[in-house]
Amino acid sequence: MQREAGAASQAEIERVVLPHLDAAYNLARWLVRNPQDAEDVVQDACLRAMRFIGGYREGDARAWLLRIVRNTAYTFLEKNRPAALSEEFDESLHAPDDGKTSDVETEFARSTDREMLQAALEMLPVQFREALILRELEGLAYKEIAEIMEIPIGTVMSSLARAREQLREKLLTAQSKGVHRGVRE
């Protein structure tokens, strides 16, 4: 049963939107890279969700809200920081894995320096960072990520593989620099 846009009840908002505010903020924070801007993005996304809740079709509420957050974040970035979205895809930098397997969870577990991990994640191109955050931190399925990012599942899988490889390389580089700094001091 579809209602007119704007006819959101308090119960619907509490059921569909409120349980997923942490995930919404987490995604917005990683996309816009600023806590205050992330709060603004989530607030705008929630207002949009409330306005368009009549279009919600009793599916995965978290995926529905995160799609709104993602679109709101990209609108924010286009308006305020267009350079953040203009990262070019360089095939030579993002070449497929050469047979080495990497388990991002193992890399997360080995990394005791949270700042190093955050810095490495922030260095990833936005589309890779987004896919990795949705999968590894939010625990979404490939299908849900594909729906949120509006890309094919195969692209989600290749983006995750490339993101994991780049993250692994950045963490290894950062760790080796940390070891060298410790030896020199």
For the stretch 5-24, pLDDT in tens is 444 577 777 887 888 999 99
CATH topology (fold) of 104-184: Arc Repressor Mutant, subunit A (1.10.10)
The answer to which of 36-40, 101-105, 172-176 has the lowest mean pLDDT is 101-105
- The residue among 175 and 80 whose pLDDT is bigger is 80
Across the chain, mean pLDDT equals 77
Domain boundaries, the chain: 10-85, 104-184
Query: Measured in whole angstroms, how far is the alpha carbon of residue 24 from the centre of its chain?
Result: 10
- CATH fit for domain 10-85, picks 1.10.240.10, 3.40.350.10, 3.40.50.300, 1.10.1740.10: 1.10.1740.10
Tell me: pLDDT of 136 over 70.
Answer: yes
pLDDT at 178: 65
The secondary structure of 23-82 as a DSSP string is: HHHHHHHHHH--HHHHHHHHHHHHHHHHHTGGG--SS-HHHHHHHHHHHHHHHHHHHH-G
pLDDT at 97: 46
